[in-house]
Amino acid sequence: MESQRENHSVEKSLNVWQSQRRQVLQGGGMVALTSLMSATAMAQNHTIQAVRNSNSLQQGEFPDGFLWGAATAGHQVEGGNINSDSWLLENMKPTLFDEPSGDACDHYHRFGEDIALLPELGLNTFRFSLEWSRIEPEPGQFSLAEIDHYRRVLQTCHRMGVTPMVTYNHFTTPRWFAGMGGWESPNASQLFARYCAMVTSQLGELMGMVTTLNEPNLIQLLFGIPGLQQTKLGTIEDQEIIRKAGERMGTGLFSSWVFGDYEHIHRGLLLAHRTGYEAIKTERPELQVGVSIAMEDDQVVEPGGEGMLDKKQSLAYVPWFDVARRHADFFGVQCYSRCRIGPSGRLPPEPGVPLTDMGYEFYPEALEGALRYTHQHLKIPLYVTENGVATTDDTRRIEYIRRAVAGVSHCLASDIDVRGYIHWSLLDNFEWLDGYRPHFGLVSVDHKTFHRHIKPSAVYLGEIARHNHLMEG
């Protein structure tokens, strides 16, 4: 019965939203669009002021203007991203990927339907990424048609009253970029800055806020200290696939994302963020620009683990805190679980604790720990740009959201400047090496018919957003 009431509420909200959308579209054009863009900008400014005054909030309350949203990434949902490095790797034999991305969720053609889900549920923010490999399929050749595609995505956000939070690079890069050495190349940062400048000049006025890179520290997070590693990366097979990819490119080189020399990739990404930030700011000085990194709630659980903790944090986090102090207007925290640390390095979860379908410990409280740690080192606005859980049991997702959002509320009560919570992910999508097996989405997708189905967890998060208050699960 409770589920039926929730579904009825969602259906009622959808009917109201559809009526409002028809009024906007029939009322036409640029006047309505300009009005909605202005409203979004006002909401952002209000958020900045409101969150600073969050010490007056009651327990479980969130300030007016707080951003509530869901996230996607281009390659994981769009489909047919054939010019990307990941498409090449997915379709090689042998491959480290369980399956290729293929058509993904066909979000490239169905973005209007997917963005409509956000206001339907009560969410006000859509975090998504641009696909560099679509926009610049060959060096220096920018596709105006693809830029126009993303213009339509942004315009759709504004028509629906949704703030677009745009990521310029979410892991995947053009094949040609990987074939010249990727982020290891001495020219990488200049090429990235050129791409950032072009995109910003064409689309910047439609963007709510942007991040240059998504989780550029992921390898340091995974491999910064020894211990349990649940990944296929760094194996002999991995190195052989990279070599074969270089042969396929005809350059003998291949490096991208997590495929290559980890230290050189990290160094290149740090420089790329700085040059990308400066390129964006040159085009649109008023645009809020940040970076989102991968984090865990690091906990020393055995005597003598402090040295390993310091090593991990100095490799995975501190370089990004340092660069953000001068080259970021805000900082994105992305956290899913905790890391238990002993003197020998990363430890597995304790026996018998609940795990997610990714093998992580089910530990929603990790988000609060990551936010508090970040606040200790960085005094700029924080956004939760990813947080979620891989599970086919949606009651577990509701519990995860409730406990994670409670942690955000605790941070606000401690006067930590958190301005938004963006859930990963909007859709059940392509999860890289693990293919379509893990389900992170608030919305399920039939990958044969592309039918979308709203889960109860989506309704639950939407109710929190509508009331700006933590709701019981």
Kindly indicate the confidence band of residue 6, based on its pLDDT and cuts at 50, 70 and 90. Answer: very low
Q: Is pLDDT at 32 greater than 70 in this prediction?
A: no
Per-residue tokens: 248: 């396929």
For range 127-145, the mean pLDDT? 98
Burial 372-410 (b: 16+ CB within 10 A, else e): ebbbeebeebbbbbbbbbbbeebebbbbbbbbbbbbbbb
pLDDT band at 230 (very low <50, low <70, confident <90, very high): low
Q: Where residue 2 falls among pLDDT bands split at 50, 70, 90? A: very low
pLDDT digits (tens, 9 = 90+) for 373-430: 999 999 999 999 999 999 999 999 999 999 999 999 999 999 999 999 999 999 999 9
pLDDT of residue 1: 46
| Lowest-confidence pick of 54-58, 112-116, 274-278 | 54-58
pLDDT tier for residue 124 given thresholds of 50, 70 and 90: very high
pLDDT at position 18 is: 39
pLDDT of residue 56: 74
Question: What band does 235 get if pLDDT is binned at 50, 70 and 90?
Answer: confident
pLDDT band at 13 (very low <50, low <70, confident <90, very high): very low
pLDDT in tens, 164-181: 999 999 999 999 999 999
Is the pLDDT at 53 greater than 80? The verdict is no
Confidence (pLDDT) at 19? 44
- Percentage above 90 pLDDT, the chain: 84
- Evaluate if pTM is beyond 0.85: yes
Q: How confident is the model at residue 25 (pLDDT cuts 50, 70, 90)?
A: very low
Q: Is the pLDDT of residue 131 over 90?
A: yes
* HEC sequence for the chain: CHHHHHHHHHHHHHHHHHHHHHHHHHHCHHHHHHHHHHHHHHHHHHHHHHHHCHHHCCCCECCCCCEEEEECCHHHHCCCCCCEHHHHHHCCCCCCCCCCCCCCCCHHHHHHHHHHHHHHHCCCEEEEECCHHHHCCECCECCHHHHHHHHHHHHHHHHCCCEEEEEEECCCCEHHHHHCCHHHCCCHHHHHHHHHHHHHHHHHHHCCEEEEEECCCHHHHHHCCCECCCCCCCCHHHHHHHHHHHHHHCCCCCCECCECCHHHHHHHHHHHHHHHHHHHHHHCCCCCEEEEEEEEEEEECCCCCHHHHHHHHHHHCHHHHHHHHHHCCEEEEEEEEEEEEECCEEECCCCCCCECCCCCECCCCHHHHHHHHHHHHCCCCEEEEECCCCCCCHHHHHHHHHHHHHHHHHHHHCCCCEEEEEEECCECCCCHHHCCCCCCCCEEECCCCCCEEECHHHHHHHHHHHHCECCCC
C-alpha separations of 293 from 170, 330, 346 in Å: 11, 12, 19
Tell me what pLDDT residue 383 has.
Answer: 98
pLDDT above 50 (res 12): no
pLDDT for 473: 76
Please state, rounded to an integer, the average pLDDT across all residues of the chain.
Answer: 90
- Given a cut of 70, whether residue 357 has pLDDT beyond it is yes
Mean pLDDT of 271-298: 98
Residue from 430, 423, 334 nearest 74 by CA: 430
Whether pLDDT at 109 is above 90: yes
- Residue 325 pLDDT > 50, yes or no? yes
**Confidence band for 229, pLDDT divided at 50, 70 and 90:** low
pLDDT of residue 371: 99
4 pLDDT higher than 70: no
- Report the candidate in 261, 236, 259 with the shortest Cα–Cα distance to residue 249: 259
Kindly report which listed range (53-57, 98-102, 198-202, 348-352) carries the lowest average pLDDT score. 53-57
pLDDT number for residue 58: 85
For the residues 68-92, what does the mean pLDDT come to? 98
- Out of 122-126, 229-233, 378-382, 415-419, pick the least confident: 229-233
Amino acid 55: pLDDT: 55
- What's the pLDDT at 176? 98
Q: What is the pLDDT of residue 21?
A: 35
pLDDT tens by residue, 434-443: 999 999 999 9
Domains of the chain, CATH where assigned? 2-50+63-467 (3.20.20.80)
In this prediction, residues 193-218 reach a mean pLDDT of: 98
